[in-house]
Structure 1
Amino acid sequence: MQLNFFKYQGTGNDFILIDNRDFIIDSKDISLIEKICDRRFGVGGDGLMLLENEENFDFRMRYFNSNGKEASMCGNGGRCIVAFAYHLGIITDSTSFIAVDGEHKAKILNNKKELLISLQMQNISKLEIGEDYFYLNTGSPHFVKFIPNHNNFDTYSEGRKIRNNDRFKKEGTNVNFVSFQDDSIMVSTFERGVEDETYSCGTGVVAAAISASFKTKNQSFKIITKGGNLKVNFEKIDSQNIKEIWLTGPAKYVFTGKFNL
């Protein structure tokens, strides 16, 4: 049996997308999903997403890390599955869909150069502010640390240390390193589940932008990642409550193919 798949990427964060409205793939088959995500023996991707039907919504987003396990919310993945639904003809210029962390809204900003997706993230109601770090959940948990600059900085080694320390070893956390660069912030990410540095992380840049607002008072940030540029804007009510969080950036179709099951 052959499985039709589609490959998308959002600022270098790459995903395998499958139209699973007819349940052609068993979401409990961890080994199959891990195999499809394998970069040597499968299609290869930071994660896999299933687009499924959901009553009262345009679709349901099911996201799986490359280890085959269903994961928490992925911001770049959310933008890519919205682009996927747009290309399938399920939606037009806006959408409301359901993910593991609840309802999300998105807008399709189609220009001549590329397809931009603006994705609304969940409100934040609790932040942990330490002496040299911030810890918050933006759909996925993120430990944010500011560094002087990213020149020769080893995101993999430093991120792996934090992700596997006594506090986070069991459940894991994503780790973001942030530096200021002119009127933008640069963000690098060690991502749990992938267990490696990724080119970009949507929930991570949201966490980084919110953390940076405590240092600059800004509520809108241009963000530079290894995979490209993103924008985050939000309304900061107080130090523990953030709402109207929008993540905007490109979501690009790469190719389609068939995978032998």
Structure 2
Amino acid sequence: MQFSKMHGQGNDFVIIDGLKEKVNNFSQLAQQICDRHFGIGADGLVILLPSQQADFTMRIFNSDGSEAEMCGNASRCVARYVYEHGLTPKNKISLETLAGIIKPELLFENDRVTSVRVDMGEPRLNRGEIPVTGDKNEKAINIPVQLENQLFYGTCISMGNPHCIIFVDNVDAVDLTAIGPKIETAPLFPRKTNVEFVQVLNRHEVRMRVWERGAGITLACGTGASATLAAAVLTTKTERRITVHLDGGDLAVEWGNDNHIYMSGPAQEVFRGEYPV
């Protein structure tokens, strides 16, 4: 089976062209192929498939085998993959995901792809859309998140997948390995949640660390950066255009006048190979 390994600011994926490769069990393959000791190693497996609504269908499976609705970093990687592998001549494509149609656009400098800008769509703010328990028509801004012996206050946003953003004074002081999985699986979140701890540096910059649902700690998260911008604006902490500093690098995010969030950053191919099946 032919594959490509790519990453967006350290958030890494194995991409397989399902238009020509046969995959029988996506979930099982994701667990095997993403294993960093016995497989290729990645945060997730991305399968490209045909679509009747968009240029391609993008299915994303976390390293634990669970399927994600959307992934901003993966969408940047896929956009560059399909262009540079000759699957499309377009520099702006549409991807069908479980969260809807996503539209990444390749940005060039001297005829080389330098970054990818993604229209992430509108943030979903009501509890029922995220989902968060409680009145489905209420927003979940600065709500209590109670663990056994700890209380946090989080703002919950869906970018097609659920996020809980918690603002702290120092993200490096957070024991993400211990706290992340507890919040991910808290009863407050019926479909679990991604967890972002965010330190506001100024009105235009934040520092973010992420615990991804189904993958654990990752170096970057595009939907998380987008949700963080929405949460920061809703709680009057930043302007509508910011740089998000992650462990793997920086992402630029902007909440446009059309209510869509736009996320920009690089996507790099690491290597290509064959995986035995």
Regarding TM over 0.5, the answer is yes
Counterpart position of 1:190: 211
- Greater relative contact order, per chain length (Cα 8 Å cut-off, separation 6+): 1
SS at match of 1:171: coil
What is the CA–CA distance in structure 1 between the aligned matches of 2:26 and 2:267, rounded to whole Å? 27
Q: CA deviation at 1:67?
A: 1.5
Q: Match for 1:55 among 39, 52, 57?
A: 52
State which drifts further: 153-162 or 11-20.
153-162
Counterpart position of 1:179: 199
Equivalent position amino acid for 1:189 in 2:
V
What TM-score, normalized to structure 2?
0.85
Equivalent position amino acid for 1:41 in 2:
F
Counterpart position of 1:74: 71
The sequence identity of aligned pairs, in percent, is 32
What is the CA–CA distance in structure 2 between the aligned matches of 1:39 and 1:92, rounded to whole Å? 33
Counterpart position of 1:44: 41
Equivalent position amino acid for 1:142 in 2:
H
- Kept in 2, the 8 Å contact 1:58–1:91? The answer is no
Q: CA deviation at 1:56?
A: 4.6
Equivalent position amino acid for 1:164 in 2:
T
What is the CA–CA distance in structure 1 between the aligned matches of 2:123 and 2:201, rounded to whole Å? 26
Q: Match for 1:87 among 70, 84, 87?
A: 84
Question: Residues 160 and 29 of structure 1: is their aligned pair in 2 closer, same or farther, counting only changes over 3 Å?
Answer: closer
Counterpart position of 2:252: 231
**Greater strand content:** 1
What is the CA–CA distance in structure 2 between the aligned matches of 1:125 and 1:173, rounded to whole Å? 14
- Kept in 1, the 8 Å contact 2:70–2:160? The answer is yes
Q: Does 1:119 align with 2:118?
A: yes
What is the CA–CA distance in structure 2 between the aligned matches of 1:44 and 1:125, rounded to whole Å? 32
SS at match of 2:178: helix
Question: Residues 70 and 204 of structure 1: is their aligned pair in 2 closer, same or farther, counting only changes over 3 Å?
Answer: same
What is the CA–CA distance in structure 1 between the aligned matches of 2:26 and 2:186, rounded to whole Å? 30
Q: Does 1:210 align with 2:230?
A: yes
- Kept in 2, the 8 Å contact 1:114–1:252? The answer is no
- CA offset digits 1:170-227 (Å, max 9, x no partner): 6211000111124411111111111x21111111111111111132351111110000
Counterpart position of 2:142: 130
Task: Let me know the Cα RMSD of the aligned residues.
Answer: 1.8
Q: Does 1:140 align with 2:137?
A: no
- Kept in 2, the 8 Å contact 1:19–1:52? The answer is yes
Q: CA deviation at 1:244?
A: 2.0
Equivalent position amino acid for 1:65 in 2:
N
SS at match of 2:140: strand
Q: How many residues align?
A: 251
Structure 2's unaligned 5+ residue stretches are 126-138, 144-152
SS at match of 2:230: helix
Q: Match for 1:165 among 174, 179, 186?
A: 186
- CA offset digits 1:67-94 (Å, max 9, x no partner): 1232211111111111111112213321
What is the CA–CA distance in structure 2 between the aligned matches of 1:38 and 1:185, rounded to whole Å? 31
- Kept in 1, the 8 Å contact 2:124–2:157? The answer is no
Q: Does 1:104 align with 2:102?
A: yes
What is the CA–CA distance in structure 2 between the aligned matches of 1:44 and 1:7, rounded to whole Å? 9
Equivalent position amino acid for 2:64 in 1:
N
- Kept in 2, the 8 Å contact 1:14–1:47? The answer is yes
SS at match of 1:216: coil
SS at match of 2:220: coil
- Kept in 2, the 8 Å contact 1:115–1:252? The answer is no
What TM-score, normalized to structure 1?
0.90
SS at match of 1:82: helix
